[in-house]
Amino acid sequence: GAVVSQHPSWVICKSGTSVKIECRSLDFQATTMFWYRQFPKQSLMLMATSNEGSKATYEQGVEKDKFLINHASLTLSTLTVTSAHPEDSSFYICSSLAVSSYNEQFFGPGTRLTVL
Amino acid sequence: SQQGEEDPQALSIQEGENATMNCSYKTSINNLQWYRQNSGRGLVHLILIRSNEREKHSGRLRVTLDTSKKSSSLLITASRAADTASYFCATTNSGGSNYKLTFGKGTLLTVNP
């Protein structure tokens, strides 16, 4: 399958700071990427759909000004958690969409964010 | 919104035994997929079954889909300790985006050596 990387794999920050997470599609171009959040022992919740060259589409209840998404190229999407608070601590996972008859999503390894 | 519900939430078996996990969903779907997640890691795609398919096999995996009951099952045969992970079903809904995945709550499978 295709390879998607995320950087950093983990980050610890102080409350009030902003954190940027990168998602890279390494071996195929992805016009669409997705950002998910996963709390401990829970499932993945879709936060937003990242579209190359246009604004991201956010799911209901997700603050677009809190979670800034930039999909500036066909291989890179970034998620910036602005003014992070302890309740933002979570596992953030991205995926890249490979458009085909299966429309398969390839997932990154995730980023563990801990806000102190 | 979470529409998939897996059961059991946790399953513990001995190596060599079969493991069966079930998933139910609420809306009409285009396809249903099963993923595996090792603790603290990303997701690995296991198998996809389309809404017009009833059964699919891949190695030691067997997936069934019953659209009349809005349910699917994942069977792992001859389990190994390395199969220990969380397993999630995810659906794409018909009538909506063909890309967006809605994940179930997952089953934590523990295979004891």
Q: How confident is the model over B80-97, as pLDDT tens digits? A: 999 999 999 999 887 666
Report residue B7's pLDDT band, with 50, 70 and 90 as the boundaries: confident
- A75: which 2 tokens? 């291989």
**Does residue A110 belong to the interface with chain B, where contact is any CB pair within 8 Å?**
yes
Flag whether pLDDT at B60 surpasses 60.
yes
Q: Among B32, B35, B36, B100, which would you mutate to test the A interface (most chain A Cβ atoms within 10 Å of its Cβ)?
A: B100
Rounded mean pLDDT of A61-71?
94
**pLDDT of res. A69:** 95
pLDDT digits (tens, 9 = 90+) for A107-116: 999 999 999 9
Nearest-5° angle of CA B67, CA B95, CA A76?
Answer: 110
Of B31, B92, B103, the CB nearest to A44: B103
Q: Are B108 and B86 in contact (CB under 8 A)?
A: yes
Distance of residue A48 Cα from the nearest chain B Cα, in angstroms = 10
pLDDT-derived band at B2 (thresholds 50, 70, 90) equals very low
